[in-house]
Structure formats: C-alpha cells, structure tokens
Amino acid sequence: MKRQKKPKNTRDQYLIRRYGITEKEFLAQLEKQSGACAICKIPPLPGAKNLHVDHDHRIERWKIISKKVNGIWVSFPQNGKGRLSFTESSRLKQESRSLVKRRLLRLSVRKLLCWKCNTGLQKWRDNPEHLAAAAEYLNEYQRSLYE
C-alpha cells in the first residue's frame, strides 16, 4: 500500500508566504467582519469562494536594506520616503531579509473583501480620489432621475 504524501502547499502555508498572516489570523479577521465583505457587507454564497485578503501592493515594492553590524545582519525597509521604524537582525543575511519581508507583508494586509469589491479596488488602482469621483458621478445620476 502506497503512503499518501501530505500536500506541500496548505492554506496556512499559502497565507504566510503570500500575506505574512496565518490561517488562524485570517479566520479571526473573518469573524471580526461577521463573515462578510468589509466594503459591501455581503457574505459569500454557500459553496462560493472565500473572501480575499485585501492588501496594499505598493508595500511589496519597498526596498529592503541589509547591513552587517558587529557580525550580525540587520535589515530594514525603506519606502522611498525614508527608513521605517523597525529592523530585524540575524546571523544570516537572507533570514534577516525574510523576517522584514514577512513583516512588510503583514503590514500590507487591510481586510477581507469579496471578489467584486477586491477587483473594483484593483481597477481603481486603490486611488480614493477616483473612487470619490465615481461615487459623486453616480450620485449626480441618481439625483437627475428624480428631479
């Protein structure tokens, strides 16, 4: 009888690698949002895909600086406007960088959204001015219908 292998990419491993959060943290956020999208407040239909982790893609592009100090590698993020307030250190450069990367990923997580709201934010490039202008446009249209 052949022994079955455990799948290498579990949901927990995926969430940690992609967003820096555990499945437990995902489920806690889901409970905090009462199982519904943070924007439209509609829960996913039974059998539908789960809510998506909304995160700020700009943070992924921040540069990670590493320097050796007294035989220990110190890494910290730099966002173009200066250094952020946290550092991670380790004897290994790669480990110090990966700790900073995981922390940045965790900082980038906002809330959980349904597919439609998540895609909408992406299409509007996370720009609040564009979203406000679109809302005003729709409000004007609604007012003109009832005048």
Buried b (16+ CB within 10 A) or exposed e, 87-113: bbbbeeeeebbebbbbbbbbbbbebbb
Give domain status of residue 2, yes or no.
no
Task: Please tell me the total count of domains within the chain.
Answer: 1
Domain assignment present for residue 72? The answer is: yes
pLDDT in tens, the chain (147 residues): 555 555 566 889 999 999 999 999 999 999 999 999 999 999 998 877 789 999 998 888 889 999 999 999 999 898 777 767 788 889 999 999 999 999 999 999 999 999 999 999 999 989 999 999 999 999 999 999 887
* Burial class of residue 127 (count of CB atoms within 10 Å of its CB; 0-12, 13-18, 19+): exposed
Does residue 1 belong to any structural domain of this protein?
A: no
Reference 55, options 12, 108, 105, 120; nearest CA is: 108
pLDDT of residue 45: 84
Specify the pLDDT at position 123: 92
| Residue 16 lies in domain | 11-145
Q: Cβ neighbours of residue 120 under 8 Å, at least 6 residues apart?
A: none
Residue 2 near residue 79, CB atoms below 8 Å: no
Q: What pLDDT is attached to residue 146?
A: 83
74 contacts 87 by C-beta, under 8 angstroms = yes
Res 5: pLDDT? 55
Please report whether residue 3 resides in a domain. no
So what's the pLDDT on residue 61? Answer: 84
